[in-house]
Amino acid sequence: MITPKEIQQQCLNWWKDVLIAHIERMNYFPKEINRIGKITAKDLLEKLPEYQKSIALLRAHSKSNKRHGYCVVEIERTFEKIGKQSVPEKIIIETLDDYLKITKKEEEFQMFIENHRLLSTEFPELKDWICKNPLKIIKHHPEWNDIMLVCNYFKTTPKPNLYIRELPIRVHTKFVEENKGIIRELLDILIQEHVQQEEKDFEKRFNLKYVEPTVRFRILDKKISQDYFSGIDDLSIPISLFEQLKLPLKRALIVENKTNLHTVTENLALSLTLPAMEATIVIFGSGYKVEILKNVKWFNRIELLYWGDIDAQGFEILSQFRGHFPYVKIKSIFMDKETYKAFEKDAVSGTEKENSAPNLTSEEQELYAELKENNKRLEQEKISYEYVGVCFQKNITYYRSQY
């Protein structure tokens, strides 16, 4: 037999539909609960005291006893051994007021009515969004006045070209940042003709200034560093400026680990990673953040080398990077079986993920599959400086000949 608590839970499952019915001015009640439990003659014979207790509880909390809430509709049934018994057939919630009493949603409903009226009056174009998202009208109750201030500002100034905290809106400085999710949903509708639809980042999507990611790179050619940067060979600049660089370069090496950016010298006997190289820079790609380099058009005119960890993620980043430059043959270095076998004792457990790496050579695919199967990782810094130096000294001509 259904209990008052179970009736309340079933009613709570209707909450969103009740709100939508209010928006659309439809009558949702009376509403029936039909699945209340089947009573058999055997139940009555074997569990009569339990049955009597459960029906007494059901009646005690019903509208007939409390003047609000659910109604219990009973019918008289005749059982062979115990005769006539009155048993519940269904539960009915007659009115919205009864429903709100059962669910204890009176306060939330009033909150919803006020916010709905406020929002639909100010922005009638949000009607469909409100119908689909009635629960958000309640969830963001304390913020609606401020959210509307933000929306109104963007309606009048759809291309602010300001940082978020510079926006001349009478809300606290972190308000927009803390409520980006709901504001984005509304602005996508309210100023859709001005939205940069392809952008996922809030600032880019809504024509705001943003703090650009920076690119850190080291110049391996002393003459270039002296001629263009007063001898400075280790720099970090915004990506938009990096995209505009005009340097006499022949080669860029993208590495995954900052350790490999350490000061360069021609003396390979020292514990340093990379030798000096003519017309070459080395760029710290920072793992999957290599994505920010995808619009560097001058990459199409030079040789590109990629050096990542020897693990599944390293090859997936390499594949991703190649996907951004389909017309450039990007060579991987120190990501081969020979290097892996030389330092296999330093390999550790990798990170299991169900990704793919379609842009690999057959040799790379073979090693990639082996690393995934064995869940292994050999990090760049485990490869000795001496090994790197000797290999560069022997193979830089080889790397250049691959293009």
Name beta bridge partners: 83: 79
Phi, psi values for residue 252, rounded to 5°: -130, 135
Q: Confidence band (pLDDT; 50, 70, 90) for 55?
A: confident
335 pLDDT exceeds 90? yes
270 pLDDT exceeds 60? no
pTM for this predicted structure: 0.62
Of the listed ranges 149-158, 267-276, 338-347, 351-360, the one predicted with least confidence: 267-276
Q: With CA atoms as reference, report the closest residue to 294 among 330, 249, 247, 260.
A: 330
58 versus 43: the higher-pLDDT residue is 58
Task: Report the alpha-carbon distance of residue 161 to residue 167 in Å, rounded.
Answer: 9
Question: What does the pLDDT look like over 305-314, one tens digit per residue?
Answer: 999 899 999 9
**Residues above pLDDT 70, as percent of the chain:** 88
17 pLDDT exceeds 80? yes
pLDDT of residue 257: 62
Name beta bridge partners: 92: 32, 71
67 pLDDT exceeds 70? yes
| Residue 283 and residue 217 in contact, taking contact as beta carbons nearer than 8 Å | yes
pLDDT of residue 83: 62
Q: Estimate to the nearest angstrom the gap between the alpha carbon of 98 and the chain centroid.
A: 40
Q: With CA atoms as reference, report the closest residue to 317 among 294, 300, 296.
A: 294
What are the residue ranges spanned by the domains of the chain? 4-103, 106-205, 214-401
CATH 3.40.1360 fits 214-401, yes or no: yes
pLDDT of residue 275: 72
40 versus 293: the higher-pLDDT residue is 293
47-56: b or e for each residue (b if 16 or more CB lie within 10 Å)? Answer: eeeebeebbe
Task: Report the alpha-carbon distance of residue 333 to residue 277 in Å, rounded.
Answer: 15
Residue 172 Rama label (left phi>0; alpha psi -120 to 50; beta): beta
355 pLDDT exceeds 70? yes
Task: Report the alpha-carbon distance of residue 305 to residue 343 in Å, rounded.
Answer: 21
Q: With CA atoms as reference, report the closest residue to 90 among 38, 33, 40, 51.
A: 33
